[in-house]
Amino acid sequence: MIGVSAAAIVAGAATRSSKNDISRNLDIFTAVYKNLQTSYVDSIDVDKSINTAISAMLNEIDPYTEYIPESEQEDFMTISTGEYGGIGSYIGTRDGKTFVSEPREGSPAQRAGLRPGDVFITIDGDSVTSLSSDVISKRLRGQAGTKVNVTVNRPYGSAALSDTILAFEITREKIDVDPVPYYGVVRDDIGYIQLTTFNEKSFQAVKDALTDLKKNPKVKSIVLDLRNNGGGLLESAVQIVGLFVPKGTEVVRTRGKGLVNEKIYKTTHKPVDTEIPLAVLVNGSSASAAEIVTGAIQDLDRGVIVGERSFGKGLVQSTRAIPYNGLMKVTIAKYYIPSGRLIQAIDYSHRNPDGTVARIPDSLTTVWHTRAGREVRDGGGITPDIKGVYPEGNRLVYNIVRDGWSFDFANRYFARHPEGIPAEDFEITDTIFSEFKAFIDPKKFKYDRACELVIDQLEKSAKTEGYLNDSVQSSIDGLRALLQHDLEHDLNLNRDMIASYLGPEMVMRWHGTRGSIIQTLKNDQDVDSAAAVLHSPDRYREILRKK
């Protein structure tokens, strides 16, 4: 034991710079900084220059190691604790205007009457039309119990559906960020739980949802949706895995500098159900703690993974207090899931000559094995057992969403039809779709000029190379005419995909986030893929069996 400890100490020391090197470089930095302050011709912003130097140093290490000054700690604490003081509203920016994108259900903003689309004009009497959304967000936040006066411009706010100026006095409250915005029954007999983050409230929220779903005699299996979940607290991930596996099961181990810095995390609570069939949904934005849960479920053969390969973040951060109320979030370890694999996709310690980094190629990854002996690989996120099949990206639909056509139409439709219908029953009818098409102004709709640019380049190249005779020019002109955009045709051609975005946007106006999720799940291909395997016990068992 003594020999191992000594070796660990030596190994740890070998990874650190010498004290002389550290002292020498600190002296150099201090001298450079003092000379700038005393001799540079213009004045230098002290805080800005130091923060720039710190950021440059940390950016050379990895994207997750960062300095958080006191002025920027509010957002960091919100992520960790799941709560903040404010009015409870998401905000967005378009064309230089900051607006309410969605007031949280039951929040002070919603109760006061703020709606999606309301554009901020003043806050506490001060004009905010020229301020960034970050500044406006900070102005809206504050200590619970304090009041904030907000003036907004509401499109379609009057009986004639014209803009209306409205004023609100809102009392701020402690806003809890609900990590489980929705759970319910999908595809007749599947319990569905959507988890958006891993904070201090996540474990209890998932446990409560799972326990409630199991009371429903219809529920035969569970889907845990971790898509777009960027992670959070490692301990929360371990607790959530513990809902599905026996107490005392190893979920993850972290390794820092030297052998003495290895830590093993095992489940500590009595599970809710270790047998119910389970599917976990992931995509390229599922990261960190979400990958711990996904990877552990896969390595322990506890459930099937459905969707896209996850992000690939296998680094652990911890916060350290530093002088003058600052915080430093520093990468202290890498985490390894039960099979022993590391799923980190990028090795930041080995950069290209230009300073860039790249994902570890699949050819350099290593094969590991799950508890049942199934082959899995390291070095690039969690590869799902069932890969999702998705339609190709569509620029027309992207532009509809990006430029706010669906958002604005939903606001106008809500102004005309405030009564609404149940989220489960809503659909984009022919009448609604015709209204939407008429709502889009062809003169203002921004098409991508991909085809036009290619034809222009073809014409230019033909001219440069001496091929642009009358016959070629005629053919190019004919091709240009054939590829002219026809908005009516394009909208009809892409109706189903447009409806998949427009429907949830509209339902949100009547039923909030919960209703929007219900509407989205009606045509969710990953949920369909999960349902297909959960409804086939033989296939489910076959996936989890050693090949």
CA 476, CA 468: separation in Å to the nearest integer? 9
Give the distance, in angstroms, between the CA of residue 435 and the centroid of all CA atoms in the same chain: 32
Residue 248 phi, psi dihedral angles, 5° rounding = 90, 5
Contacts of 343 (CB under 8 A, 6+ apart): 291, 295, 310, 312, 313, 314, 337, 378, 379, 380, 381, 382
Residue 479 phi, psi dihedral angles, 5° rounding = -65, -40
Residue 19, Cβ density class (10 Å: 0-12 exposed, 13-18 middle, ≥19 buried): exposed
- Give the CA-trace dihedral at 88, 90, 92, 98, to 10 degrees: -10
Give the distance, in angstroms, between the CA of residue 16 and the centroid of all CA atoms in the same chain: 35
- Nearest CA among 308, 272, 301, 284 for reference residue 193: 272
Alpha-carbon Rg for the chain, nearest whole angstrom, is: 28
Are residues 106 and 174 in contact, defined by beta-carbon separation less than 8 angstroms?
A: no
Contacts of 392 (CB under 8 A, 6+ apart): none
Taking the CB of residue 141, how many other CB atoms lie within 10 A of it?
A: 18
Strand pairing category for 304-307 and 315-322: unpaired
CA 190, CA 339: separation in Å to the nearest integer? 28
Give the distance, in angstroms, between the CA of residue 397 and the centroid of all CA atoms in the same chain: 20
Token digits of residue 42? 């213009």
Token digits of residue 206? 């998932």
Token digits of residue 220? 């035969």
CA angle 211, 213, 217 (to 5 degrees): 115
Taking the CB of residue 46, how many other CB atoms lie within 10 A of it?
A: 10
Residues recognised as catalytic: 288, 299, 313
CA 40, CA 532: separation in Å to the nearest integer? 69
Token digits of residue 50? 């130091």
Token digits of residue 97? 């205007």
CA 129, CA 322: separation in Å to the nearest integer? 36
CA 15, CA 364: separation in Å to the nearest integer? 25
What are the helix (H) ranges across 287-368? 289-299
- Sole residue written with tokens 């430093």: 328
Are residues 183 and 212 in contact, defined by beta-carbon separation less than 8 angstroms?
A: yes
CA 27, CA 40: separation in Å to the nearest integer? 19
